[in-house]
Amino acid sequence: MKKLLEIALGIVTSVGGFLEIGSIATAAQAGAEFSFQLIWAIVLGGICIIFLVEQSGRFAAVSGRTLPDAIRERFGFNYFAFMYVVLGLVSLMVLAAELGGVCVALELGTGVGFQWWAIPVALLVWLVMWKGTFGVIEKGVSLLGLVTVCFVIGAIIVHPPWHQVLRGAAPSLPQHDSARYWFIAVSILGASISPYLFFFYSAGAIEDEWKETHVGINRIIATGGMGFGTLISIAVLILAATQLLPRGIKAQHYSELPMLLIPVFGQKGFWLLVASLGIACFGAALEITLQIAYLTAQGFGWNWSENQRPLDEARFSFTYTVIIVLAFVPSLLGLDPLSMTVFSMAATAATLPVSIVPFLFLMNDYSYVRVYRNSWFSNAVVLSIIGLAFVLAVVTIPLQIFGGG
């Protein structure tokens, strides 16, 4: 029973981590512009992230180390510094987008411009980090994130043409706006295969004191959590294809997003959208802030744990404070949160090889993972993801120029 509860909670928290502003925005744009045709990109991203999250959890449970720890040890400081700068900047952009998402949800709910919410939202994120424990952040906020299940219920209620939905799961060439189609596909992959997810997950396994006995549970949680998150993203796309596309709404602005749920649930749909957007972005903002602080502290060998008092790990708490200050500036200046989101998802896609290549080496290193090394199948999958990551790194910037608008 205890194990079942642990698995259920783990799945819920993984969903909470998966669903954020990037996956909602990119899935909505995909459905609004290309109907069901881009479902394959969400499915592909989902499969990739299931494998990477499972491996990062297995690595932490068996070796007792997080990914940044091992990357610094095995690849040396120079590679770590390069990864730290790249991943830190991209994560900061994604965090800025998440904070913007919370502000937009508040603007939709209150009518007060989103810039005005930048400082209160940043303060709230900081306060939860300052006073909260890892359990509060991981489980509390993620449980609230269950409200996003409303997208799945909505997608079932609208009775989409399921044969077309299924057909969308197989990759196909676009009939119009090729550059835009591929740019959205790349953004979806960037939103799904977020490095912050597996870095956060490996640190979480250490915070939760996972041991070798958690290898099986980890597999179920990673597959169930990321799989369910993928399902919710597909539901957003279905709603966009059935509710936005026929009305000619392209989801180019957040104010258009409530139309995903209003036709299905009426006025309640509006509030469900506001709550889903706000809570999902808030949860993701906490996780990304923690992930950047973890990455810094683990890479430099400082004391770190969200379960300790800020006073006992001054450098760690100072780091997340600075990160929050830096990340709320774009919202304060009034930069469009949707543009920030789409840009940061593309930047994530462009920098994926830096954080994925180490998996291939670490997951086959006997001194860390012993008998839990990758099978030939898992290695083949990681190699395929690395190949995909290099393709994304090459094509993202040209697609951003020709299809980003």
Partner 1 sequence: MELVRDCLDKQIDDQSKRRMGRVDGIVLVLEPDRAPRVAYIELGVETLMNRLSVRLGRRVARWMRRWRIDPDPFRIPWGKLKIGLNTVIAEVEAEKTPALEWELWLRKKVIGKIPGA
Side-chain half-sphere CA neighbours of 315 within 13 A: 11
DSSP for 270-287, written as a single string? HHHHHHHHHHHHHHHHHH
Rounded distance, CA 375 to CA 220, Å? 17
Among 3, 211, 315, 370, binds partner 1 (CB under 8 A): 315
Stretch of 29-37, 93-101, 228-236, 312-320 lying at the interface with partner 1 (CB under 8 A): 312-320
Alpha-helical runs (H) found in 132-258? 134-135, 141-144, 149-157, 162-168, 178-192, 195-207, 215-239
Task: Compute CA distances 143 → 11, 124, 283, whole Å.
Answer: 10, 18, 10
Which residue, 36 or 84, has its beta carbon nearer to partner 1?
A: 84
DSSP for 225-246, written as a single string? HHHHHHHHHHHHHHHIIIIIGG
Residues written for the chain: 405
Tokens 């020709």 sit on residue: 402
Site size with partner 1, rule: CB under 8 A: 26
Quote the distance between the C-alpha of residue 183 and its chain's center: 18
Among 3, 77, 325, 401, binds partner 1 (CB under 8 A): 77
Cβ-based neighbours of 83, under 8 Å, separated by 6 or more: 71, 354, 355
Among 230, 317, 344, 400, binds partner 1 (CB under 8 A): 317
Among 265, 300, 361, 372, binds partner 1 (CB under 8 A): 300
Among 3, 8, 81, 268, binds partner 1 (CB under 8 A): 81
DSSP state of 82: H
Which residue, 157 or 314, has its beta carbon nearer to partner 1?
A: 314
171: contact with partner 1 by CB under 8 A: no
Which residue, 71 or 288, has its beta carbon nearer to partner 1?
A: 71
301: contact with partner 1 by CB under 8 A: yes
Which residue, 63 or 230, has its beta carbon nearer to partner 1?
A: 63
Which residue, 183 or 368, has its beta carbon nearer to partner 1?
A: 368
**What is the CA angle 311-313-317, rounded to 5?**
85
88: contact with partner 1 by CB under 8 A: no
Among 58, 65, 180, 214, binds partner 1 (CB under 8 A): 65
Residue 306 Cβ vs partner 1, minimum distance, rounded to whole Å: 14
Residue 301 Cβ vs partner 1, minimum distance, rounded to whole Å: 4
Binding mask 123-142 for partner 1 (x = CB under 8 A): -------xx-----------
Cα pseudo-dihedral 365, 366, 369, 371, rounded to 10: 130
Binding residues vs partner 1 (CB under 8 A): 63, 65, 69, 72-73, 76-78, 80-81, 130-131, 300-304, 309-311, 313-315, 317-318, 367
